[in-house]
Every structure is written in structure tokens, then in C-alpha cells.
Amino acid sequence: MPSTKSETVRPPAVAGRFYPADPGLLRRDVQRLIDAAGPVSEPLAAAYIVPHAGYRYSGPVAAQVYARLAAHRGRVKRVVLVGPSHHYPLRGTAAAPYTAWQTPLGEVRAAATNAVGSSRLPHEAEHSLEVQLPFLQVALGDDIEVTPVACGMSQTPDTARIIAALLEEAGEDAVLICSTDLSHYHDLATAQRIDAATAEAIKSLRPREIAPQHACGVFALRGTLAWADATGRRPRQLALATSADAAGSPDRVVGYPAFAIERPGL
């Protein structure tokens, strides 16, 4: 039987929890975060690393990326998203087999890919890629396509090759978004020490030094860094914070990164 619309459009899984379910409130909140971070006028990066917690906590850090993307509205039409599979024990990588992703702000078209196989299972309840979509809708408008890919346990060179294939398929002005948080549930001082070391590993393109306890999106992150290294791109830190910066408890914090991975020659 042919697929129905409800089967081909991925509904929001975390609206009302990680971000507002009300469209007006969501748009205002995201625009406020982007406005607070920008405007930022700088060359478009090839890729960005962003966090994926609730907007109350990681929204200001994520907005450092999306304020920069907003400056290239109209140019960026395709976004490749890679991130972890928190709820499904994924081995390897899996694209999402949907034609669109629904958010309270409307549908985001999904571009099919031949670079990697697809599966619904890692995407059905996953928040790490979903929470990027309202930011993309506000920053870049409705005329975009996304290719969301979950990255499970994998060898770094394999993930890097898949990322390269996804970006080649997506075209010259496509942007890669790698979604990851950093350390989880340490006291503030410990988290800052661990996350500072992870940030240095990111900036120095040393993916082997990043372990699963350092970043929940470790496999996507390692692959992104290996791809950057192989293609002459360098990460630049935009922000590094924790949930304690957003009025969370300093006794049990989560780390949030924002990085730009610049195009060669910049």
C-alpha cells in the first residue's frame, strides 16, 4: 500500500518539553535568542557544532550558531544534520525515511539521500536533531531542505566518509550541523574542566581524545572532526557553557558547545 502523509511526515516528539508547542511563542522565543546572539556578519562556515538540550538551557549557546546562519538566509538551502541516537541502540548511521519533519512552525522538507541507508527507529523519539529545526526555520526561512542522519556506534573514518558523501550530494552551499552536548551530571567545576579539554580536542582536530562520557554525540562529533581534518577545515569556538549558566543547579550540570568549522582559506 502507498504511504500516507502521517507515515511520511515525522511529527514532533518533544514539542512542549524541549521547546514551546505554541507556534507564536516558539517563534518569539527563537527570534529572541537569535537577536540576543547577533547580528553576526562573517563568512559562512562549512559546518557548525551545536547543543541540543531544552531551549531554556542550551538555547543561548545554539543561538550563537543560528545568528551566524541567519546572516546567510537565502543562500543556504540545504542542511545536513548529524547527531546521536539516545533511545535506540544504533550501530552505524541511519538517515530518516521521511519526506518532511513537522514542527509547530510548519513542515521542513526532507531531502532523500543515497549516501546512507534509512531507518525510522533511531529517529522516532530522538530530540537531538528535532530541536535544531525551529532554529533553522526562523534563521533561514521555509525554503530549506534537511537531511537528518543519526550516528550510532561506528568507526570514525566510516562516519567521516558518510559525512563527506552527504555534503557532496547536498551541494556547494550546503551546511553541516553536528548536534552534541558535552559532559553530563558533574558538578560545575568538574564539568568545566572536562569540557575545556574536549573543546581543545575539537579545536585541535583530535577526535580520538573524545570519549562517550565527554560528548553524547561522540560518534557524530568524531566523524565531523575527521571529515574537517581531511578537508582542511578548522574549528573555531563560538561559545562554551553549562546548564548552570541558565539558572540550573551547579551540582549536576550538562555542558553545551558551539563551534564553527570554517571553509578552507578563511
Closest CA to 14 of 133, 95, 94, 117: 133
3-state SS, residue 153: strand
Closest to 260 in 3D by CA, of 33, 67, 35, 93: 67
Cα 46 from Cα 175, distance rounded (Å): 5
pTM of the entire predicted model: 0.96
Q: What is the pLDDT of residues 27-86, one digit of tens each?
A: 999 999 999 998 898 999 999 999 999 999 999 999 999 999 999 999 999 999 999 999
Domains and CATH numbers, the chain: 29-262 (3.40.830.10)
- Cell match 511529527: residue? 11
- The pLDDT score that the predictor gives to residue 101 is 99
Position 208 confidence tier, pLDDT thresholds 50, 70, 90: very high
Q: Is 237 helix (H, G, I), strand (E, B) or coil?
A: strand
- Using the structure block, give the residue that is written with the C-alpha cell 563560538: 238
pLDDT of 39:
86
Peptide bond before 39: cis, by omega within 30 degrees of 0? Answer: yes
